[in-house]
């Protein structure tokens, strides 16, 4: 029987553990390990109730390579799914190399002291994974993840060349709270308050944070027309490198007026800073303190109503006619339906299900390829089939022009 280790018991870790348990035949003995064992135990109890599957739990400090590698050598898993934080990517990759375990994550490495994420640190592991005969799959969430696979699928089946990609991420859900982030607040706020960046004609172009926006009409009437903001997002880096002939790639996300106003105030008063300050003799980092007082994203599940819609608007040259065409390939996910299934809102669901699906490709051998890979470098077809089978069905809309300026 195979063994699977999932690291991280937050909102996304819960979904990954639930979905792996739904497919116990593939994942065999499942371990959920994290810093706080009580959180793992609570998820394990929910899973037992929902699926009858018993998963095992343990406490681990994923920043500690020796401790994690010793644990992996003891339980001997085929794969480790890193659903902790981006800060743990390198230590967990090291532990996997030491213990001979395949690796998968959903977010690229970011040094804790510098709000700056880049693939270079993880790409440097290419030869070490290859030489060890191990596969590392990077960014198998929704964005990055499904959005990259959508591009790979479009290139394989529709277009001889992709000209432009606009990744568009809408959360039209409402949790009724004045301000909360949908996933880890520290990671989320670091991402949104950074300058926007997009890639055009071989160059990165930078814009001030949240300074470019427009209205976009989403295909689902429950999402409707929403204001989308241009941001930098990590999949732009690998897609700009891996899509031949690409002329431009951008990433857009919806935010409500209320969200933007709260964020601006928090930023203006210094609460989003990661510079330590001395408070009553104790050093604290304002953003980490803010995280403590904001709602736990995992608690938003029962409150959130509405839908998400995430997709790629892709323009390219059609394989058969050579003519330019634009297609929007997307998924719509309902917050309440996710909560009914796995006790989590759609943001964690859309990130967690693709991690399980990526791991399924590794377990089946379809994505077994020694080295370090972004998901667009692997065969999109079995992953796309699994999206339909495991809760994230996708749709395609033909559009007669690019919907964006």
Comparison of 60 and 159: residue with beta carbon closer to ligand NDP: 60
Instruction: Annotate 258-278 with DSSP letters as a single string.
Output: HHHHHHHHHHHTTTT--S-EE
Comparison of 62 and 155: residue with beta carbon closer to ligand NDP: 62
Interface residue with ligand NDP, options 55, 62, 81, 189 (CB under 6 A): 62
Q: Which stretch binds ligand NDP (CB under 6 A): 10-18, 220-228, 245-253, 272-280?
A: 10-18
Tell me how far, at minimum, the Cβ of 327 lies from ligand NDP, in Å: 21
Map the footprint of ligand NDP across residues 127-146, applying CB under 6 A. Answer: 141-145
Angle at the Cα of 140 from the Cα atoms of 184 and 69, rounded to 5 degrees:
80
Map the footprint of ligand NDP across residues 323-352, applying CB under 6 A. Answer: 351
Interface residue with ligand NDP, options 29, 41, 46, 61 (CB under 6 A): 61
356 binds ligand NDP, rule: CB under 6 A = no
Which helix or strand (DSSP H or E) is residue 24 part of?
A: helix 24-27
Q: Which stretch binds ligand NDP (CB under 6 A): 33-41, 245-253, 257-265, 268-276?
A: 33-41
Map the footprint of ligand NDP across residues 297-326, applying CB under 6 A. Answer: 297-298
Interface residue with ligand NDP, options 4, 5, 6, 11 (CB under 6 A): 11
371 binds ligand NDP, rule: CB under 6 A = no
Tell me how far, at minimum, the Cβ of 323 lies from ligand NDP, in Å: 33
Residue 395 to residues 168, 332, 333, 389: CA-CA distances in angstroms? 14, 9, 12, 14
Tell me how far, at minimum, the Cβ of 140 lies from ligand NDP, in Å: 8
- Tell me how far apart the 2 most distant CA atoms of the chain are, in Å: 70
Interface residue with ligand NDP, options 77, 86, 286, 301 (CB under 6 A): 86
- Which residue's structure tokens are 């395609």? 396
Q: Which stretch binds ligand NDP (CB under 6 A): 32-40, 118-126, 252-260, 278-286?
A: 32-40
Comparison of 167 and 314: residue with beta carbon closer to ligand NDP: 167
Tell me which residue has its CB nearest to ligand NDP: 10
183 binds ligand NDP, rule: CB under 6 A = yes
Tell me how far, at minimum, the Cβ of 9 lies from ligand NDP, in Å: 4
Residue 374 to residues 138, 149, 238, 304: CA-CA distances in angstroms? 5, 9, 7, 31
Tell me how far, at minimum, the Cβ of 60 lies from ligand NDP, in Å: 5
Contact string (CB under 6 A) for ligand NDP, positions 108-127, x = contact: --------------------
Comparison of 196 and 297: residue with beta carbon closer to ligand NDP: 297
Interface residue with ligand NDP, options 18, 106, 326, 344 (CB under 6 A): 106
Tell me how far, at minimum, the Cβ of 40 lies from ligand NDP, in Å: 8
Q: Which stretch binds ligand NDP (CB under 6 A): 84-92, 122-130, 239-247, 394-402?
A: 84-92
60 binds ligand NDP, rule: CB under 6 A = yes
Comparison of 173 and 316: residue with beta carbon closer to ligand NDP: 173
Interface with ligand NDP (CB under 6 A): 8-13, 34-36, 39, 60-63, 83-86, 88, 106-107, 141-145, 183-184, 187, 297-298, 351
């Amino acid at each position: 029987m195979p063994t699977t280790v999932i690291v991280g018991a937050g909102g996304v870790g819960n979904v990954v553990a639930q979905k792996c348990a739904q497919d116990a035949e593939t994942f065999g003995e499942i371990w959920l390990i994290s810093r706080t064992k009580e959180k793992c135990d609570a998820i394990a109890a929910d899973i037992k109730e929902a699926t009858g599957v018993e998963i095992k739990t343990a406490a681990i400090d994923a920043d500690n390579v020796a401790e994690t590698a010793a644990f992996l050598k003891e339980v001997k898993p085929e794969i480790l799914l890193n659903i902790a934080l981006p800060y743990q990517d390198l230590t967990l990759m090291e532990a996997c190399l030491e213990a001979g375990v395949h690796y998968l994550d959903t977010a690229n490495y970011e040094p804790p002291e510098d709000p700056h994420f880049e693939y270079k640190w993880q790409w440097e592991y290419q030869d070490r994974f290859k030489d060890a005969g191990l596969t590392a799959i990077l960014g198998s969430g929704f964005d990055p993840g499904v959005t990259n696979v959508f591009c790979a699928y479009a290139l394989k089946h529709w277009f001889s060349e992709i000209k432009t990609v606009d990744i568009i991420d809408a959360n039209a859900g409402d949790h009724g709270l004045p301000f909360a982030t949908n996933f880890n607040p520290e990671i989320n706020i670091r991402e949104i308050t950074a300058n926007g960046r997009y890639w055009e004609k071989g160059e990165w172009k930078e814009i001030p944070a949240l300074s470019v926006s427009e209205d976009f009409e989403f295909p689902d009437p429950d999402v409707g027309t929403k204001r989308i903001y241009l941001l930098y997002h990590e999949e732009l880096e690998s897609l700009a490198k891996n899509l031949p002939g690409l002329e431009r790639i951008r990433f857009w996300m919806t935010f409500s007026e209320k969200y933007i106003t709260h964020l601006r105030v928090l930023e203006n008063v210094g609460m989003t800073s990661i510079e330590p300050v001395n408070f009553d003799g104790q050093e604290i980092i304002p953003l980490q303190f803010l995280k403590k007082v904001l709602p736990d994203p995992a608690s938003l599940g029962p409150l959130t109503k509405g839908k998400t819609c995430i997709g790629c608007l892709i323009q390219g040259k059609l394989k058969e006619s050579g003519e330019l065409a634009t297609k929007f390939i997307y998924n719509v996910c309902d917050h309440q339906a996710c909560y009914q299934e796995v006790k989590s809102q759609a943001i964690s669901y859309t990130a967690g299900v693709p991690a399980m699906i990526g791991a399924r490709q590794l377990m089946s051998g379809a994505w077994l390829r020694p080295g370090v890979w972004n998901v667009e470098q692997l065969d999109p077809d079995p992953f796309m089939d699994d999206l339909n089978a495991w809760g994230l069905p996708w749709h395609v809309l033909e559009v007669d022009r690019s919907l964006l300026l």
